[in-house]
Amino acid sequence: MNTPTIIDGKKVSAEVQQQAADRVKKIIEKTGVTPCLVTVLVGSDPASVTYTRMKRKRCEAVGMKSMKVELPEETTTEQLLAKIKELGDDPAIHGILLQHPVPSQIDERAAFEAIPAAKDVDGVTIASFGAMAFDLPGFGCATPAGIIDLIDAYDIDCNGKHAVVIGRSPILGKPMAMMLLSRHATVTICHSRTTDLPGLVKQADIIVAAVGRPNFVQGDWVKPGAIVIDAGYNPGNIGDCDYEACAKNASMITPVPGGVGPTTIAALINQTSIGAARQLGLDLE
């Protein structure tokens, strides 16, 4: 019976957070400035409230300041843009996270684009995507960046491998494909209109599931020895992959929860510390 290596996101996230804590300590020692991340939440969606609270706690755990901005459900795009501009102009704030999704009346893309690139520590702006795609200094989207941390921690060699990304979200599937391409993988992006999706997935050496549908990827889609990275998180702590079935063929696999989730937050925290160092003119990377 196949026994895959379980990719431990909690362990990797702790290592990444330690890197951030070390950097924050150096920033404070050299400048007297404590890096600060602000979370912006529009409305009171229970899951979003929980996520922003978790992010602030992790932020404080590495020695950074956390600040929360909570706006009412009926906030307009113009009001949100004005608040983000105010935060962007504040030199004491080094990272801005807009919790998404936002209420339907708000132009989410316009809100993302209001975040200055230097403070876009969640990697959601067009400027950040462009920098990442061209291998220039910038910030990757937090979930794909966290997946890269997992890949590095487990010495997964992407060079020449066929990676299949299921999902084409501008803040997950698309940047994930670019990051894998930068690691010299051959990348196929699949989506809801892909013909013969199971057949394409079965060609993959590395599978990244980011489709937002519980237990979507089936075990017989996974060729023996493939690496399965599940970026999905659905109600009931269920990922996008049928874990038990996929584990029968995979050589390595991420659990849900405890896989990609912890490293997503760790990447956000680490990128905030990097952003603070850059804004303060320190070379600590």
- Given 8, 122, 149, 240, which residue is catalytic? 122
Residue 99 annotated in active site: yes
Q: What is the DSSP letter of 2?
A: -
- Given 17, 83, 99, 279, which residue is catalytic? 99
β-sheet bridge partners, residue 241: 217
* Identity at 218, one-letter amino acid code: Q
Q: By C-alpha distance, which of 34, 38, 39, 41 is closest to 20?
A: 34
- Given 8, 17, 55, 120, which residue is catalytic? 55
Task: Please return the burial class of 67, using the count of CB atoms within 10 Å of its CB with bins 0-12, 13-18 and 19+.
Answer: middle
What is the chain's Cα-based Rg? 19
Q: At 271, is the secondary structure helix, strand, or coil?
A: helix
User: What residue ranges in the chain does DSSP mark as E strands?
Assistant: 5-6, 36-42, 65-71, 95-98, 162-166, 186-190, 206-209, 227-230, 252-253
Residue 55 annotated in active site: yes
Active site residues: 55, 99, 122
